[in-house]
Chain A
Amino acid sequence: MTGGELALAALAVPLAGVAFAAALHRNPDWREAATFATAGMLFFLVVSLAPAVLAGERPSVVLFEMLPGLPVALAVEPLGWLFAAVASSLWVVSTAYSVGYLRANGEGRQSRFFACFAGAIFAAVGIAFAGNLLTLFLFYEILTLVTYPLVTHHGTDEARRAGRVYLGVLVGTSIVFLLPAVIATAALAGTLDFRPGGILGGRVDATAAGVLLALFMFGIGKAALMPFHRWLPAAMVAPTPVSALLHAVAVVKAGVFCVVKVIVYVFGTETLAALGGAAWLTAVAAFTLVAASAVALRADNLKRRLAYSTVSQLAYVTMAASLLTPAAVMGAALHLVAHAFGKITLFFAAGSIYTAAHKTEVSQLDGIGRAMPWTMGAFAVGALSMIGLPPLAGFVSKWYILTGAMGARDWLVVGTLAASTLLNAAYFLPIVYRAFFVADTAGGGHGHEAPAPMVVAQAVTAAACVALFLFPGLAIALAKALT
């Protein structure tokens, strides 16, 4: 198969997964086997695209013309490949986790769950491989809609309210800010294709570029830039596998992926720098980063703390991209990968704690490390990666972001990074400390370790955090190709 056909197949496979999950409604074992098969198939297809992308090719395919002169098209470039690789590899792992979680917790509507899950991956792959802004926007909206049933999975009043916030913020920002930005780009540039160096060079003045950038950045609500971050903690009402794969990886990474993509391929870092840069964006991201960390510090609910940690970590990517220097953009791309593996590990652990011990609050976790050593061990690895300590993935990306910030002599960013490292430590380490070093005074015990598929899943992602530190070559090579 040619590269373009591979990309098309990668888009079709999760769509087939939707059909399988719906068709095998009455046979859970086969349904889950089919989900595994599609997830594995997708990962294989994405991996087989790697040599071409690394060799500098840009496999592309035009599907059909949606609007006059504006087709739906796929084009695989390094950043998109990285995002697709992260999403597809973690889909395999989280399928195992989901099976364990849904069965252990006796969740209803499992077929709808797996169908929408595959649908979300379909949309994520579409975003990753989008060849132009219109295609990106199409799949961006699909991703919002297909994850809505997952967020409101439990069907309770609380879920319904959370669904309103989720949809209101994501659809609202995308229609009111992102869509006019896309249409204005089409009008100004005459094309919506992603091109190295951007498409707006020489076609906008500084004011227009500033307005357009603001529309894009606040329009991409999935990147959770304050004040449009509320949907992310609201979405925590969903079952934990959803929070793990979608709200730590696919959906939020789609957000920051779009941010980087717009800055690199629509504006072009050099064009944007020449037009006065994005200093306000750096400031907003820095504020989001610190403010979200402060909220996380005070959150007792574990998933809420993780959610605000995600808001803060997403701001790392936006902030790094807004620096517009090669090293910082590399750091942004690497952080997209590193945070995905770290945060999914943390969410997996949170779900395991809920499943095995029925605990949701940080204050209930005293001494749980003894009952659930694997889970809390994985949690510790994820937490340390978030803080950015070696030998873990978070260190690599933070290194590049810091290098970029110092290169740009942006001491605000350097200071923010230092402060946030301390804040990260302040809200993650107490959890690890409680779990392993504080005796369980409340009594009643914590039961036992989570079901095997869940333990395996979190062990794999924790190991991946280490592996990304030891063998960062592929990710660095791809990130470098971006600049």
Chain B
Amino acid sequence: MLAQHLPVLVAVVPLVAAPLIVVARSGFLGWVTALLVAAATTAMSAALLAQATASGTISYAIGSWPPPWGIEYRVDAANALVALLVSAVALVVVPYARRSVSAEVGQDRQYLFYALLMLCLAGLLGMALTGDAFNLFVFLEISSLSTYVLIALGRHRRALLAAYQYLVLGTTGATFYVIGVGLLYLATGTLNFADMAVRLADVRDARPLAAGLAFITAGIGLKLALFPLHAWLPNAYACAPSAVSAFVAATATKVSIYVLMRVYFSVFGVDAVFRDLPTGAILAVLSVAAMFAASAAAIVQPDLKRLLAFSSVGQVGYITLGISLGSAPGLAAAMAHVVNHGITKGALFLLAGAMALRLGGTGMDRVAGLARTMPVTAFAFVVGGLSLIGVPGTAGFASKWALVSAAIEAGRWWIAGAVLLSSLLAVAYVWRFVECAYFREPPAGAPDRDEAPADMTGPALALTAAVVAAGLFASPVLEASTRAAAALMGFAR
């Protein structure tokens, strides 16, 4: 009975939890609620993924209004995977957040933190699972607005500026998305993705469609930090509370990437996007620019969290590069990197948060000699860094392998070369940390050995272990990604 409502419950449970937390006005109760909700959404997402893998697409009509008139929730191997990633990251971040948030957010505002985190989770899960273009916009705004406030909770005044900057650009992005959807609605008369996909084939005038596609690409491109629309991201990630950085970095851009995949491959279809329009070439050029420019910028950042943020912009480039190939293997590689980079960056930001707790910040000068003061954290950070480089045995290697294979299969050797050459920039920015942590002396007066408490290092190390596990046993993620790509491309049928 309950099982058939799973597609909508995944998003509704955190949505309902948020006001409950506000009513309770207790940081501790908020934390407990968030933990339970994260566990529940993880279990439900896993169940949905298993169901979608076993028996194909699940369609859920809200209020029993049949699609395309009512809002449809449409779960397949692609968005169930994204939902699982989002919920699982939340499940790791919430236990960690208890102490991290106590240290970084004022006592009287902690319950608000958990309420906003639940709203953000609901928004992201809703974006992932809905099959309706306008409903997606609503959840996009829910997740965005909550993210702006979460970032503003950062302990420095700069966090307000970062949040404001993100607010301006994020709202622009969302507006562009809704304009694009409006154009598509004018042309097709429907907001249901599946219905839209069918009706688009009959639309004679291609120009409004191209305009709609362009608006959606630019709008979602802003949200996923497609180079050069990434200006908001470094400040937002660097200034947000540590737990927020970890959660947002691992999930928010990833869900936006999924939306772009859905619009490109499911709604418009490969031919309309990549054959009739130069989308692939534009996306490929921007992606390669991100891989080189943002990774190079990461090398010179004075702060570890900013370094990770620029690295994220570069790594998103690998994902969009996979999309730009316009092929099933390319899309699968992109999806694999969504998962693998999500857990990698999540782990790294959690570790950076542990450093921030003990060192009072993550400036490069503060992490000097970290191998002496926090050896476990430092080593785990190096492991996460190896995954950013794509060293075999880490998650990053598996997706890089898939991406290079897909590029070779498509006959695009220069793309394969660009992927591998830009990895060298990752070596440079990761090794900047290594040299700082292992070759420099700790600042004067630093304690001898002072790891962060277990409730923070535990989740961080668990996610780091997942990075290694996903690298050594890469087949499950790669196979799930291949199924996701097939589901995205075979949407309308």
User: Which residues of A are interface residues toward B (Cβ below 8 A)?
Assistant: 64-68, 72, 134, 137-138, 141-142, 145, 149, 152, 155, 160, 164, 167-168, 171-172, 175-176, 179-180, 183-184, 186-187
| Contact sample, A vs B, 10 pairs, CB 8 Å cutoff | A64-B473, A65-B475, A67-B401, A68-B479, A68-B482, A149-B438, A164-B431, A175-B390, A180-B417, A186-B405
Whether A66 pairs with B474 at a CB distance below 8 angstroms is: yes
Is B427 in contact with chain A by the CB < 8 A criterion?
Answer: yes
Taking Cβ atoms with an 8 Å cutoff, the residues of B that contact A are 386, 389-393, 398, 400-401, 404-405, 408-409, 416-417, 420-421, 423-424, 427, 431, 435, 438-439, 472-475, 478-479, 482
> Chain B nearest CB: distance from A402 CB in Å?
38
Give the residue name and chain of the B residue nearest to A138 (CB). Answer: B392
A-B contact count (CB 8 A): 74
Tell me, in angstroms, the Cα distance from A243 to B438 when the chains sit together.
Answer: 21
- Measured in the bound complex, the distance between the Cα atoms of B392 and A134 in whole Å is 9
A149 to B438, CA, bound (A): 10
Across-interface contacts of B391 in A (CB, < 8 A): 141, 145
Which chain A residue has the least Cβ–Cβ distance from B472? A66
Q: Tell me, in angstroms, the Cα distance from A164 to B430 when the chains sit together.
A: 12
Q: Which residues of B contact A145 (CB under 8 A)?
A: 386, 391
Main secondary structure of the interface of A (DSSP, over half): helix
For A180, give its contact among B390, B420, B475 (CB under 8 Å): B420
Docked Cα-Cα span, A119 to B393, in Å, equals 15
Known pairs A66-B473, A175-B390, A179-B420 / 20 extra A-B pairs, C-beta < 8 Å: A65-B473, A67-B398, A67-B474, A67-B475, A138-B393, A141-B393, A142-B392, A155-B439, A160-B439, A167-B431, A171-B424, A175-B423, A176-B420, A176-B421, A180-B417, A183-B401, A183-B408, A184-B408, A186-B405, A187-B408
Q: How far is the CA of A175 from the CA of B420 in the complex (A)?
A: 6
Q: Are B435 and A187 in contact (CB under 8 A)?
A: no
**Cα separation A183 to B397 with both chains bound (whole Å):** 12
Min C-beta distance of B354 to chain A, whole Å: 22
- Whether A180 and B421, one on each chain, are in contact in the complex, defined by CB atoms closer than 8 angstroms, is no
Give Cα distance in the complex from A66 to B421, angstroms.
Answer: 24
Q: How far is the CA of A387 from the CA of B392 in the complex (A)?
A: 39
CA distance A468 to B389 in the complex (A): 43
**Interface SS majority for chain B:** helix
Q: Which chain B positions have C-beta within 8 A of A141?
A: 391-393
A180 to chain B, nearest CB (A): 6
Given contacts A65-B475, A66-B474, A164-B431, A180 and B404 within 8 Å (CB-CB): yes
Complex: A140 Cα to B476 Cα, angstroms = 24
Shortest CB-to-CB span from B159 to chain A, Å, is: 35
A contact residues around B424 at 8 Å (CB): 171-172, 175-176
User: Are A142 and B479 in contact, with the CB atoms below 8 A?
Assistant: no
Q: Is the CB of A168 within 8 A of B439?
A: no
Q: Are A183 and B405 in contact (CB under 8 A)?
A: yes
Chain A residues with Cβ below 8 Å from B427 are 167-168, 171-172, 175
With both chains docked as a complex, state the minimum distance between the C-beta of A208 and any C-beta of chain B, in angstroms: 11
Closest 10 CB pairs of A and B: A138-B392, A68-B475, A183-B404, A176-B420, A175-B423, A160-B439, A65-B475, A141-B392, A67-B474, A175-B420
Answer whether A142 and B393 are a contact pair too, CB < 8 Å, given A68-B479, A164-B431, A172-B427.
yes
Chain A residues contacting B420 (CB-CB under 8 Å) are: 175-176, 179-180
Q: Complex formed: what's the CA distance from A305 to B423 in Å?
A: 33
Chain A residues near B482 (CB-CB < 8 A): 68
Q: In the complex, A172 Cα to B423 Cα: how many Å?
A: 9
Please indicate the chain B residues that have their CB under 8 angstroms from the CB of A138 in the complex. Answer: 392-393
Closest B residue to A137 by CB, please name it.
Answer: B392
Residue of A64, A66, A137, A152 contacting most chain B CB atoms (<10 Å): A66
For A164, what are the chain B residues with a Cβ–Cβ distance below 8 Å?
431
Residues from chain A with Cβ under 8 Å of B390 in the complex: 175
Q: Does the CB pair A187–B405 fall under 8 Å?
A: yes
Distance (whole angstroms) from the CB of B420 to the closest CB of chain A? 5
Known A-B contacts A160-B435, A179-B404, A180-B417; A187 and B409 likewise in contact (beta carbons under 8 Å): yes
Q: Measured between C-beta atoms, what is the minimum distance from B56 to chain A in Å?
A: 21
Specify the chain A residue showing the minimal Cβ separation from B405: A183
Q: Are B472 and A64 in contact (CB under 8 A)?
A: yes
Contacts of B408 in A (CB 8 A): 180, 183-184, 187
Could you say which residues of chain A place their CB within 8 Å of the CB of B405?
183, 186-187
Give the Cβ gap from A150 to chain B, nearest Cβ, in Å. 13
List of A residues within 8 angstroms of B393 by Cβ = 138, 141-142
Q: Which residues of B contact A149 (CB under 8 A)?
A: 438
Q: Chain A residues near B473 (CB, 8 Å)?
A: 64-66
Taking CB atoms, residues of chain B closer than 8 Å to A152 are 438-439
Closest to B393 in A: A138
B482 and chain A: residue at smallest CB distance: A68
CA distance A11 to B400 in the complex (A): 27
Write the nearest CB–CB distance from B77 to chain A, whole angstroms.
Answer: 16
B479 nearest in chain A by CB position: A68
Q: For residue A200, give the distance in angstroms from its CB to the closest CB of chain B.
A: 15
Which of A67, A141, A167, A172 has the largest count of B CB atoms less than 10 A from its CB?
Answer: A67
User: Which of chain B's residues have a CB closer than 8 A to the CB of A160?
Assistant: 435, 439
A200–B482 Cα distance when bound, in Å, is 27
Q: Name the B residues within 8 Å of A175 (CB-CB).
A: 389-390, 420, 423-424, 427
Residue of chain A at shortest CB distance from B390: A175
Q: Flag if A67 contacts B409 (CB, 8 Å).
A: no
Centre residue among A149, A160, A167, A179 by max chain B CB count within 10 A: A179
CB closest residue in chain B, given A152: B439
In the assembled complex, the CB of A172 is this many whole angstroms from the nearest CB of chain B, namely 6
Chain B residues with CB below 8 A from A176, complex form: 417, 420-421, 423-424
Q: Report B-chain residues with C-beta under 8 Å of the C-beta of A155.
A: 438-439
Q: Which residues of B contact A137 (CB under 8 A)?
A: 392
Among A68, A72, A142, A187, point to the contact of B478 (Cβ < 8 A).
Answer: A68
B343 to chain A, nearest CB (A): 17
Whole-angstrom CA separation of A30 from B139 in the bound complex: 61
Q: How far is the CB of B97 from chain A (nearest CB, A)?
A: 32
Most B CB contacts (10 A, CB to CB) among A64, A164, A176, A183 go to A183
CB-defined contacts of B438 to chain A, threshold 8 Å: 149, 152, 155
Q: Please, how many angstroms separate the alpha-carbon atoms of A149 and B420 in the complex?
A: 25
Residues on A with beta carbons closer than 8 Å to the beta carbon of B421: 176
> Chain B: which residue is nearest A69 at the CB level?
B475
Residue in B closest to A149 when the chains form the complex, CB atoms: B438
The residue among A137, A155, A180, A186 with the most chain B CB atoms within 10 A of its own CB is A180
**Once the chains are docked, how many angstroms separate the CA of A134 from the CA of B474?**
13
- In this complex, what residue of B is CB-closest to A178? B420
Task: Tell me how far the C-beta of A231 lies from the nearest C-beta in chain B, rounded to whole angstroms.
Answer: 14
A160 to B432, CA, bound (A): 11
Docked complex Cα distance between A167 and B417 (Å): 20
Measured CA separation A141–B396 after assembly (Å): 14
Task: List, in ascending order, chain B residues with CB within 8 A of A172's CB.
Answer: 424, 427
Bound-state Cα–Cα, A145 to B392, Å? 11
* Cβ of A130 to closest chain B Cβ, rounded Å: 12
Which residues on the A side are within 8 Å of B404 (C-beta)? 179-180, 183
Q: CA A179 – CA B420 in complex, angstroms?
A: 8
Chain B hits for A183, CB < 8 A: 401, 404-405, 408, 416
Q: Once bound together, how far apart are the Cα atoms of A179 and B398, in whole Å?
A: 12
Shortest CB distance A181–B (Å): 11
C-alpha spacing A149/B437, complex, angstroms: 13
CB distance from A230 to the nearest CB of B (A): 16
Residue of B nearest to A155 (CB): B439
Q: How far is the CA of A369 from the CA of B317 in the complex (A)?
A: 62
Among B386, B389, B478, the residue within 8 A (CB) of A67 is B478
Cα(A175)–Cα(B396), bound, Å: 13
Interchain nearest-CB distance for B223 vs A (Å): 31
Residues of B contacting A168 with CB < 8 Å? 427
Inter-chain CA distance A201–B275, complex, in Å, is 36
Instruction: Closest B residue to A177 by CB, please name it.
Output: B420
**Interface-central residue, A145, A167, A175, by most chain B CB under 10 Å:** A175
User: Which residue, B392, B417, B439, B473, has most C-beta atoms of chain A within 10 A?
Assistant: B392
Q: Chain B contacts of A67 at CB under 8 A?
A: 398, 401, 474-475, 478
- Residues of A with C-beta under 8 A to B435: 160
